[in-house]
Amino acid sequence: MNAIDKFVDAIISSDNNYQELDRIYLINRVRALVGDECNINGKSLLAVRDALIQTAIQNQKIVDTPTEKEILSDQLMDLYTPVPSAINQKFWNLYQNSPESATNYFYELSRKNDYIKTKAIAKNISYTTKTDYGDLEITINLSKPEKDPKAIAAAGTQVQTGYPKCQLCMENEGYLGRLGYPARSNHRIIRFMLGGETWGFQYSPYAYFTEHAIFLSHIHRPMVINQHTFSNLLEITKQFPQYFVGSNADLPIVGGSMLSHDHYQGGRHEFPMMKAPVVKNINLPIKNVEAGIVKWPLSDIRLTSDDPEQLIKAATLIHNNWKSYSDEDVDIRAYTGEIRHHTVTPIAYRKDNQYVLDIVLRDNQTSTNYPDGIFHPHKQYQHIKKENIGLIEVMGRAILPARLKTELIEVEKYLLNQPNNMAEYHHDWADQLKQKYEFTSENVEDIVNKETGLVFSHVLENAGVYKWDNQGRKAFDKFINSLNEVK
């Protein structure tokens, strides 16, 4: 059997409603994509898919570029993937047994059809680092493909259609892709109702944790944090109690990278912040809600209750008050002129029979001393992390740039007094490490990994609006007291 026959076998044996009578039709569908001559083979489904891509290159059906290979790959896997209506029907039928059986089905399908890029994700470097705030999670992100130079050049001459409006729009479901825009032929979205609107549920193709999910509005509109947001997050934890769900902040600098489309992220993972203890109980003028300050580098107020409506009231109280709250003594200013600086990063999850809402206070001011952001990674730490501190980082998982894979190897050579090409911006840090440790070839990698994690903990401290010192604690108490003064 050649790769075409094997791939068609896989399609017919999949949960895709194709039958043996469809074999010739499917063979011709595949031949139309890759050509008739096929002398390459593979064992696993994805290996067969790769063989078909090589066949297409040999038959001059496509050019050997990352963009054309990605588009063809997803076209092939689309044949293996049930249509959206069939997936949605099976998902919600399984949901009647349990939410977990439904998400298990959709997650495994998204892995099998290579929408979740498991092979690419496996390239990421991940480990944990012990800090004063618990074990932080470190990921050097190597999974996302490098930009295709030919695609970048060609995209500059392409007519911009504005369709889809962004990579989170529902119009991406089944979209072929183009130069400079990812292929999505094998992409599927589960529809569900949330807050009286249609929303979508999908998995992230380049996941950073187990079952990394995205919940997205069917309307292309900017992200916003308000009472409706807190209600939506808690409603998602009702529908999918095995998942946490949170929202990036809705302002630049402190927000995520996709502020143009209303969406949340969630999944089956317990982040370091969720394990962090409450170190001070606080009183709020809301009944049936336990509240406390969490021992965490960012300023986190944890709300716990068995009554979601009361949690929504408490979160709204904090958010509304924080939006207009200033304290010049600790550089906290709600507005500069009419420009708002305050928002929150909310995270919801279930713990036993309780609902939990973590409300993290955010401030996106800049200043002469901190032009990138007062509560943003400061310059001495930007050699490791200078990007926005979004939802995933807020919860204690660093997503660090791919450049560090090679750069940190050069740092290790420098620490061992070996010839190296260490980047200049690592120099001060590396010299500090030399003063702190005696390095050997056996310990240098572990120490550099540990110290990279400690830099991330300092980055999170930079992002915290109230610091863990006497001045910061008193200022935090002052804000908490203001919540009880709201009329």
pLDDT tens digits for range 452-466: 999 999 999 999 999
Query: What is the per-residue pLDDT for 145?
Result: 67
Cβ atoms within 10 Å, residue 337: 5
What does the block give as tokens for 132?
């004063």
323 close to 250: Cβ distance less than 8 angstroms: no
Q: Up-side HSE of residue 302: CA atoms within 13 Å toward CB?
A: 23
Query: What is the per-residue pLDDT for 375?
Result: 96
345 close to 249: Cβ distance less than 8 angstroms: yes
CA 260 to chain CA centroid, nearest Å: 15
Span 152-165, pLDDT tens digits: 555 555 566 789 99
Query: What is the per-residue pLDDT for 153?
Result: 56
How many whole angstroms separate alpha carbon 444 and alpha carbon 262?
44
Q: What is the DSSP string of 281-324?
A: EE--SSTT-EEEEESSSS-EEEEEES-HHHHHHHHHHHHHHHHT
Query: What is the per-residue pLDDT for 146?
Result: 61
Query: What is the per-residue pLDDT for 16?
Result: 87
What does the block give as tokens for 61?
């059906």
Span 268-277, pLDDT tens digits: 999 999 999 9
Span 281-308, pLDDT tens digits: 999 999 999 999 999 999 999 999 999 9
Q: What is the pTM of this model?
A: 0.94
Contacts of 328 (CB under 8 A, 6+ apart): none
- For residues 255-264, average pLDDT: 88
Residues in the chain: 487
Contacts of 481 (CB under 8 A, 6+ apart): none
Strand partners, 291: 282, 303
Question: What residue ranges in 39-92 does DSSP mark as E strands?
Answer: none
- Map tokens 């997503």 to a residue: 399
Span 17-36, pLDDT tens digits: 899 999 999 999 999 999 99
CA distances from 241 to 81, 204, 236, 244, 309 (A): 27, 19, 8, 8, 17
Using DSSP's 3-state secondary structure scheme, residue 362 falls into: strand
How many whole angstroms separate alpha carbon 338 and alpha carbon 105?
48
Query: What is the per-residue pLDDT for 42?
Result: 82
H-assigned helices in 81-127: 84-95, 99-112, 118-121
- Map tokens 């006497």 to a residue: 470
Sign of CA dihedral 476, 390, 354, 309: positive
3-state secondary structure 371-403: CCCCCCCCHHHCCCCCCCCCHHHHCCEEEECCH
Give which of 429, 445, 270, 436 is closest to 349, Cα–Cα.
270
pLDDT at 263 over 90: yes
- For residues 256-263, average pLDDT: 88
359 close to 300: Cβ distance less than 8 angstroms: yes
